[in-house]
Every structure is written in C-alpha cells, then in structure tokens.
Chain A
C-alpha cells in the first residue's frame, strides 16, 4: 500500500535575486512500512521538498500532486493541513538543540501536540508521553517530563524529538537529517532507535540526508537528488552496488570511507549550479565525468532498468566505478628520525574562576596530554564534541595559555620564550578553521586576507605581496584574477582554499586543521582533502588534523590520537588503530562509524525502456 506519492512535484521560491527552481518535476512513491531515503548535497532541494509537502513554504509556488493516503495535500487549506501535521505526518528535524523550544518543558511540548489533535485528558496525555519517553530511552521519564531541553544532551534531545514525532502514531514520519548534528556514537544509537521504532509501530519513514553511506544499511528505497531533480531512484541494494547515475557514483567515490587509506580520492569536479537558471540539458553535465556532447544540449531521458532503478541520464548502462580504478594507495612513510616540530608533555588546561559573590569553580579541559609531531607527518586528533581537541589545537598554537605541562615548538619552550622570539615562532604555526563562512572577514578582499601574514610580519608589500598572494592562490587552485573579490563571491570549498592559502603564506612548520572539511558537501570535501595531501607531498608540510570523522582521519593521517574527556586514550599508526584498536572507546568510535556499502558491480541489469524528456 502506498502511503505517500508525489507526482511531478515542482517548487519555485521567489527571492530578491529571482526565482529559485528548488524542485523540478520530482515523482516518487513511498510504500507503507518502508524506510525511504532521499539523498543529496546542500541545494539539491531535498529539504524544500519535504517542507512543500507539509505546506510550510507559504511564499512558494508549488505544482504537481502530493498524495498522502490518497488525499492531495496541495489542494488542502491551511486549516486542513494543520490537522494533518503532527497527527498524520510526524517530523524530526536536524538540530535537536534548536528545534525544541527552549522556554517550555519537553513534556509540555509533547502533550501540547496531543491536546491540539485529540483533546485528551491531561493526566492521560501525560501518562502517554511518559510511557513513550521511556520507550525511546529517556531514563526516569516521569521525573524528566518537566525538564527543559537544555537539561538534555544532544542525543537525548533527538530522542525527545523522535518521541514527539511518534506520539500520535502518524503513518508517516519525515526525518530531515536526524543525525547530522550528533556525535558518531550517538548517531548510530539514534539510527538504531528510529529503525526499531518504525518496525515496532509499522511507521513509514522518509529520511533525508546528505550522507549516502548512512542510508545504505537501513533504506529500502532511495532517491538521489541534484539541483532539484530526481537523478536516480530505486531499491537500495542495486542502487548502492551499481549506481546507474554518474552523480550517485560520484558521491560514493567522493567518500573516503570507500577507499583504501591514503588513496587519491576521485572527487566530483566543480561546484553545484545556481538554481536560478534552468539549464537546457542535464543539470549535472558540467560536473559529470561521463558527459557526452548530447548531455548539455538536450534534457536527459528517463532510463528504466530491470532491477527497479530509474535514472535521468543519457548513459545506457552504469558508469564505471572510478573509486575502484583510483590511483594506488600510498601512505607516505614518515622518517622517524626527522626533526620534531612540536612536542607536548603533560599539557594541562583548567578553566577556573569566580565572581565577586560567586563560589569558585574549576573545570579541567586537558588532563595531561603527551604527543609529538615530526616533519612531514600528519597526526589525526579524533574525538567527540567536548573532548578538548579544538582546545588542544589552540593551546599548541599558543592562543590559549596552558595551566600546566610543557610545549616545545621547534626547540623552544613556549612558556619561556621572550616576546620577540615568540613573534618569529608565530609564523611557524598556522590554523585553518572549520567554518569557512565565519572564518573570513566578509568586508575584506581575499587578496588582503591571504596577504595578511606578509603585512603583519612586514615581509612583502606592494607588488611583491600581490605576486606572492597570486602564487599562493594558484597553488591552492584559485583563479589569481579573483584577487580583488570578496569572500561572499566564493563557495564554501573555495573559501576553505582561501584559508589554506593564508595558512601557507609564511611556509609554516606546522599547519593545524580544525575540522577543515566538516562544513563542506562530500563532493567538495574530496577536492579539499586531495589538495591538502598534494600540498603536503610537494611542500613537505606537517599537519595536525582535527576531526570527528574517522573515515576522513584515516584517509589523510599517518598517526592517530584518540582523545576522550581531555586525555589521549590511544595513539598509534593509523592502520594499526583501525585494524586492532586497543582501547574500548576507540572500538566504540570505530563500530559506530558507518560502514561503506558493498559494491560488486552490475549484476544482470537490463535497460527496459527509455522515456524521452518533453520537448518543452
């Protein structure tokens, strides 16, 4: 039985810059009890699609049909939609921190929903909510009913959101990136809970995510979107083992999880298109590795294959698996006799304080960290949020004074250097930050931003500085002619290149990357990782690489340190950590990270027929 069916859904959102064609002619059906996944990068239209289904886009023009249990949602009035939201369609949003109202207790936020839709008696409603909270794994649910969202951890809040979505037993639950904001170990728990709840209650789940790998183990059917279009749809098994659309294949090939450690990634080149224009041919053609002449001229036909896969592509069979043919894995061996760049011994950091009338408190963030980095190597620092990894990076960079221990940088003890030496030492450590949107001053030209190190240390000025900056821009793959542009004119990936160029300016001995790719889409992420690796090979750079993503860390690092609650619990060669983790926390982290889907090529797939695109 079909729960949800979309037919030729098209969503246009008017903005000041013009009309954004967010969703183009998308059709799919979701059967009762299944988990239907929608995957795509940012701007693919996946979130807009679900908000359009719920009628949460008041300004948008929506065409087509969306049938929920046979009723066309697009034909309903706002009032009728209100009675459907929550009771027939439950929603789980991405960020449980911001999706719950901070001023109301979690219990009242859930019971409010029962009251609105069912007019239940107060005590009965409370009992129902408490039962469900206990069911989704909230301990002492009865006492915690009156607690506020900020009193729960991220994972617990997402459990509360799940309870909220399920409390009225809706036939359909839409989960929009339900685990993206959570730590890996928590992510796995939440996915398991969602899967368990849907099996127990027979709920149909529509799950939206940018992480294709996440869907491989749980989705029954899958739709891949790009630039508002349905690129590929079909049962999850054949779709993962042999993606028929070059974009799906490219997404899988961009993920380091699908490679041997250290192999060159095959990224999707270029960047996502503007949604303001409608290209004549295939929207993916400019970035497609299998593109043909016809792709840019005519809209692609719909290919229907015998194993249930439907693809919007000119190719008549699956594109080649480029990850499998990728360059040989090369993990550069680090010479253990090379110089030590930085050495930390027993580094401690505690925040303490107290006001005029307040009690003193003390918070230990780093509890005795020992590590060393040699020239040319990459040390990965892995841990969940709050473990102190970013703080450690700032301490090593000298941005936060430590409260105990010793850091030796290029042979100088940081606690003893005089200001003059310190200024020259500063050149040796550079940082690249996580959020490429926040880390660049939006009101300065990028030439000035990249040239800053030269200005601050009075190394080059005028024409010489400009020449240096343009050399750096070329080095990181930016067009040197864009010297005078502002950061807003660049995409996230390009901005991260700007950050890397700035870090490279002074030939530093050590570059600290603090989650450099976690804010980027997977296709862009692969481009940046490749860039970092090639720069390291060419310039013999030393990296300290901080990340929560184990696949990424394994891909770029020689050695890995696992950080938990301010302590290094395990440190060693990257492959050793992966093949035989010693510490239970390392094992927990590893088992929680999503396993890459099996890929064994096409098996007996035949093209059944093709439907040509409308001439219009």
Chain B
C-alpha cells in the first residue's frame, strides 16, 4: 500500500444474479422490506469510488480475541476454541490492505447478548460476541473466538440458523461496502436455512462456507477455519472514460 498510488477507477458492476434478490418470501421479514421498483444504475462517481480509511489506532489490543475481550480477568468464554483467518481480496484477486473487518456472533449455545433475544439458551458471562480488526498489507486478517451454536428463530415454525459469524467489511470505496455471514464446513443446517437460501446460486453459498484448516490449527489449543472475503474489483486505467454525452 505504501508505494502504490490509490486507485481511482470505478468498480466492476455488481452481479445481482449472484447476490440474494431483495424479495425472498421464504425469509419473511424481507417481504415488507424489499424495494419493488428497479434500481437506478449509477456508474461510480467520486461519491461511490471514495471511502473512509480507518487507522489501526482505533483497534484495541483484544478487539480480535472474542475469547477474552469481554471476559473477566483470568477467565475465558466457553465453547470450541477456533481461529478464523483469511484474506480480504477483490474480484481481481488483489489483497485489500487496511480494510476494517467487524464481526459478531452468538455464543456457544446459540444465544446473542441482545435485549431483544429471547432464546432460552443462557448467556455466557464471559462472552460479548463481537470484535474487529484491520487487514494487513496483503489483505490478511485473523481473530480468535469460540464456535457459535445454531439457534431457532421466528420465521417458519421450526426454522434454525446454522452456526454462523456475521461480517461487516469496508474496502477502499464506499461502493465496496458489504455485510455477509460465514458458515462452517460440514454443517448440515446450512442447506435448510431460509436466510442462506435467499442466495440463488449454490456456488455463491459455497463461497460463504469457511474451510476447516488443520494446517493452521494450533495443536492442543484451537482449530482454524479459513474464510476469504471477496469485495468488488475495479477497472484498470487503460483508457479514460469517454465523456458522457460527447
């Protein structure tokens, strides 16, 4: 990043066949929250190509360790100890350095620390359920946590969410802003989840499933899951845009 001038070209068009559509009646809440009219296309102007940059100074020492960041001194969160790591890259495969990555999740029993959460599974007094980090010069990131549990939710009579971690990611332009969820390899709950099933393309779903990585597992301590996040790519600067209307 140090020696590379910032890129100023527009982003690749978003593939809206790949993302979930707004209206997905199997996920009931989307019914009244989905715009019904066509989006108006707006190829990136300065307002979309630019974006905020967050300095490493906002990150606290334990922000990337959910096992201890809410725990009482000397204590730890309960659950299967895991490392989640990966790279934030763009559609060209280029690492995205300096990207702010925020994450939040339920505890090992599938319970969120939230006032409106009513699931009977207990809170873990040592688990807050959120953290954040900023990617390194190659786009790499890592954090420690416990594997979240699956939980029931009010949609269908018997709908359950698979174990998952929510991710919020900033790239280099506001048009890259993305929120998504990470799932875990081998979880049979993935394929019956109404929220997962809002995604029409099976390969797009597979792209959200983190792989168990025994090579990066720390023996006798914690297993590792690899989760790469892909943000929109941006055009090369071969030729300038022809001026509109000319």
Question: Are A and B a genuine interacting pair, yes or no?
Answer: no
